[in-house]
Amino acid sequence: MKYYLVAGEASGDLHGANLMKALKAADGTAEFRFYGGNKMLAEGGVLDKHYSEMAFMGFTEVLLNLRTIFKNLKACKASVLAYQPDVLVLIDFPGFNLKIADFAKENGIKVCYYISPKVWAWNQKRVLKIKRIVDKMFCILPFEVEFYKEWGMEVDYVGNPLLDEIAQFTPDTEFRNKYGLKKEVIALLPGSRKQEIERLLPDMLSVTSHFPDHHFVVAAAPSFEEAYYRQFIKTENVTLVFAQTYNLLNIAKAAIVASGTATLETALFHVPQVVVYRGGAISVAIARALVKIRFISLVNLIMDKAVVTELIQNDCNTANITHRLENILQGPVRAKMMEDYRELSAKMGTAGASQRTAGLILDYLKHEVV
């Protein structure tokens, strides 16, 4: 069968590649065309556009790049129509992908959505549109099934693809020695976007002098040069590592983490963390007016309680980060967080999201053909 996939970010490229691998294993005739990245390209097929030309963060950034976004939408629609796939598989990236879903539905193309848009966070009435334009929805957060049910839509919880990545991870036993990490390690995960890094890394690094008995290690994004990160690093107890996030989390005593997927990864490695976020003033003001959720971190959202501390905007400062970090390095706050992490792991289930999703897509397509 012919599959057209659309992923617009690095995480989508990773999950898309794993899904393609699973589809190839289940469907020997699988052919692919896609918007994605290098990981998806490594699985074969035709790459129409790289996600690096598509990802824009925040309301302000989106407004400034509207012309590029509309151009990308037009090109994607034309490519989908020309390819005439048996199914369009959309991966997260809702601002773009829901428009592509609408277009595909109008043109009689079956639509599967992998990794639900966060409609539970704001503008929940979008579910009514999703019910109309998406044939099958595959969710990776356990609470999403009940949310969609309340709106009269049946969806499938397939597990979280992060569990697949962690299950495949083999620790490097020489990691500490390679980087000379003799003290206990505090991991810094400032995100992978330039705006995130420049807003958050200085705040993260500002606490290093308060913890002379620890070694801070920055998980650097491979899309940036080492020199870019070095401009922020002023103290000796800071090390930079590229493409080693899981090895870093595997040995970390605690972590300071940018809000996003990394908060869940950190929790699944059972590393106590402080979650931080800074956005553009206009973007944050709009978000606060529209967003209907109590938390910003996936850990707290899944558990529906404050498991990890979230320091947002002006609360994200040296004094607050230092205090919260001290609390999770030892003592009852750390112990309670670790207990909650064990409950979180049980809620998340087991690895195999890609295989389950591929199987459900094929079952759906075979049923439709019959």
- Report percent pLDDT > 70 for the chain: 92
Instruction: Report d(CA 214, CA 322) in Å as an integer.
Output: 13
* Burial environment of residue 249 by CB neighbours within 10 A (0 to 12, 13 to 18, 19 or more): buried
Cβ-contact 360, 136 below 8 angstroms: yes
Residue range 7-34: mean pLDDT, rounded: 94
- Please answer whether residues 186 and 334 qualify as being in contact, where contact means their C-beta atoms are separated by less than 8 angstroms: no
Q: What is the pLDDT of residue 36?
A: 95
CATH classification (class only), 168-348: alpha beta
The answer for 340, left when phi > 0, alpha when psi is -120 to 50, beta otherwise, is alpha
Tell me the pLDDT tens digit for each residue of 101-148: 999 999 999 999 999 998 876 777 889 999 999 999 999 999 999 999
Q: Where in the chain is the domain with CATH 3.40.50.2000?
A: 2-159+352-369, 168-348
Find out whether 96 and 74 touch, Cβ atoms under 8 Å. Answer: no
- Residue 216 bridge partners (DSSP): 186, 238
Q: Which two three-digit tokens encode residue 51?
A: 């996600």
**Domain 2-159+352-369 fold:** Rossmann fold (3.40.50)
State the amino acid at position 359 in one-letter form: G
Nearest CA among 2, 83, 112, 13 for reference residue 55? 13
pLDDT at 282 (0 to 100): 47
What is the C-alpha R_g of the chain? Answer: 21
Q: What is the pLDDT of residues 56-92, one digit of tens each?
A: 555 555 566 667 778 999 999 999 999 999 999 999 9
Instruction: Specify the pTM.
Output: 0.81
- Name 46's Cβ contacts closer than 8 Å, sequence gap at least 6: 32, 33, 34
Q: Alpha carbon of 369 to those of 82, 84, 87, 237, 366: distances in Å?
A: 21, 15, 12, 61, 5
Which pLDDT tens digit goes with each residue over 160-200? 999 988 998 999 999 999 999 999 999 999 998 888 999 99
Q: What is the pLDDT of residues 242-285, one digit of tens each?
A: 999 999 999 999 999 999 889 999 999 999 999 999 875 544 45
pLDDT value, residue 368: 73
